[in-house]
A and B are shown apart, each in its own frame.
Chain A
């Protein structure tokens, strides 16, 4: 019997598109997003993903006012 795999997700941030509004930080139920200190091309501090812990709820994606600053990807075993 196949063991049901736990789904894993990853939050991909395009920091050049981020304006540092912190809406996603506010929205994340797991607190895996935090504001970075590095400024991007437009001099905004971009948000950073902690590297693990994303549950793929999409809250940050829908809270983010930019079209593609945040992408949630699901890692699927081939």
Chain B
């Protein structure tokens, strides 16, 4: 007599669960009768039978199945709560050959990460998602979940879920099926044997769709949580088949996998040179090489610049131009705009940090080295943040001459008025940049480096306005030169 295993431990599982704590290394951590174990088995069986151990990437959720990666003999990754579809998207996009298997519970998928799954489904990401719906928060001890049935008693709904207060269970499969992109949506139940066998077919179909790169497949599985629902196995099956299916009818909600072609997406690019080429197709011509460093004392330490004005004056753009100059002269730079309701008509500002070493905080909120103000509220708001020996540059067209301590250097020029003489109010920021150049060259830079500043401005303008008509660059350069000549107010510590 010979014995042949007809049904046995699926090969998609590790032979021994080394990471599982406790004396028994061959079974799982789930409570007795848990539906997770049943589904794990179906998935592991499919992974083993379909030969996907090297290609499948299991994306594990937060919830009872948080340790799913203990068990599956394939690639796996653990994600932040609800973010499995986002992580799965990245895994799928970075290598289209990955067979991405999302595994999520109802708290993870239908509550905290609900938008994540809807967006991933709507994008038609090439992945299959198994959604375990047990109508309760299992891991935390049986609180009401978004999928709890009306009238269902849980820890947080001891008198039963009151739909007038907490609404109705969310029908996720129906929602996903409404989208255009998903190819396959089915709801199964992990209850009696025929239901489990239907779930087995659904699991295999969903994984096969992913292997065939058909797009997004979604299988919702009604699953038992006998411990939290305080039920025996037969009561649990009854609950699933009689009560849950009333609200969550079983069946195929969408299946267009036969008609759909395999998804074709852009080949991902990882080589740094290729990425650079893609992002910056035309390298800005620079007058310096990669080893160039300003030797001026002013750049010995990190320099923090704040630029502020009203939205529309081009303060963010001016900041970006400065940051670009820093980049072109081999500084480490950061540019941090303050977006928000200020953007239109209020005070907008940005912080730029230059450093020859690492940039610490990108926020220049105290101890600024340089403050550039283009309206009165900016001076009132930020002058206090100007550090010792700081320099202030302001638009004298509208701003009153500010009172500062004697260690400060102050430059003023009527940038807005000058921009008007050029016929375009929008170039006031370039006029201001001329003021910055004058200030730098008067107070901080000498000789070659002083000349280089003008070159850096020109290079940055070319890069910043790349793709715009040449007359835009010309006008801004004209404004820059005008600003440089027109600084009219100078006083303070460093003025020669």
Residues of chain A touching chain B, judged by Cβ–Cβ distance below 8 Å, are: 9-10, 14, 16-17, 19-23, 25-27, 41-42, 44, 56-59, 61-78
Can you report 17 residue pairs joining A to B where beta carbons are below 8 Å apart? Answer: A10-B3, A16-B24, A16-B27, A17-B24, A21-B33, A22-B233, A27-B193, A41-B24, A42-B22, A58-B6, A62-B7, A64-B37, A66-B37, A72-B7, A72-B8, A76-B3, A78-B1
Q: Counting chain A CB atoms within 10 Å of each CB, which of B7, B23, B36, B192 scores highest?
A: B7
Specify which chain B residues have a CB less than 8 angstroms from the CB of A72 in the assembled complex: 5-8
Q: Write the nearest CB–CB distance from A47 to chain B, whole angstroms.
A: 11
Per-position 1/0 for B1-26, Cβ under 8 A of A: 11111111110010000000011101
A44 adjacent to B71 (CB under 8 Å): no
Per-position 1/0 for B33-74, Cβ under 8 A of A: 111111011101000000000000000000000000001000
A59 to B196, CA, bound (A): 9
A71 to B4, CA, bound (A): 10
Q: Write the nearest CB–CB distance from A40 to chain B, whole angstroms.
A: 9
A19 adjacent to B7 (CB under 8 Å): no
| Minimum CB distance partner of A42 in chain B | B24
Q: Is B455 an interface residue (CB 8 A)?
A: no
A77 to B35, CA, bound (A): 37
Q: Write the nearest CB–CB distance from B195 to chain A, whole angstroms.
A: 10
B32 adjacent to A44 (CB under 8 Å): yes
B6 adjacent to A56 (CB under 8 Å): yes
A22 adjacent to B37 (CB under 8 Å): no
A21 adjacent to B226 (CB under 8 Å): yes
A47 to B445, CA, bound (A): 86
Q: Write the nearest CB–CB distance from B217 to chain A, whole angstroms.
A: 21
| Minimum CB distance partner of B34 in chain A | A65
Q: Write the nearest CB–CB distance from B188 to chain A, whole angstroms.
A: 12
B33 adjacent to A78 (CB under 8 Å): no
The 3 A-B pairs of least Cβ separation, nearest first, read A65-B37, A21-B33, A68-B9
- Out of A19, A57, A74, A77, name the residue touching B33 (CB < 8 Å): A19
Specify which chain B residues have a CB less than 8 angstroms from the CB of A59 in the assembled complex: 193
Specify which chain B residues have a CB less than 8 angstroms from the CB of A70 in the assembled complex: 7
A72 to B41, CA, bound (A): 15
Q: Is B30 an interface residue (CB 8 A)?
A: yes
Q: Is B237 an interface residue (CB 8 A)?
A: yes
- Out of A26, A61, A66, A75, name the residue touching B234 (CB < 8 Å): A26
Q: Write the nearest CB–CB distance from B255 to chain A, whole angstroms.
A: 23
- Beyond the given pairs A62-B193, A67-B13, A75-B3, 20 more chain A to chain B contacts, judged by CB atoms under 8 angstroms and listed by A's residue number, are A9-B6, A19-B32, A21-B226, A26-B233, A26-B234, A26-B237, A41-B24, A42-B22, A61-B8, A63-B196, A65-B28, A67-B27, A67-B28, A67-B44, A72-B6, A73-B6, A74-B5, A76-B3, A76-B4, A77-B1
B1 adjacent to A23 (CB under 8 Å): no
A49 to B233, CA, bound (A): 18
Per-position 1/0 for B176-195, Cβ under 8 A of A: 00000000000000001100
Q: Write the nearest CB–CB distance from A23 to chain B, whole angstroms.
A: 5
Q: Write the nearest CB–CB distance from B345 to chain A, whole angstroms.
A: 61
A65 to B282, CA, bound (A): 59
Specify which chain B residues have a CB less than 8 angstroms from the CB of A64 in the assembled complex: 37-38, 41
A59 to B200, CA, bound (A): 12
Per-position 1/0 for B198-239, Cβ under 8 A of A: 001000000000000000000000000010000011100100
A78 adjacent to B2 (CB under 8 Å): yes
Q: Is B197 an interface residue (CB 8 A)?
A: yes
Specify which chain A residues have a CB less than 8 angstroms from the CB of B234 in the assembled complex: 22, 26
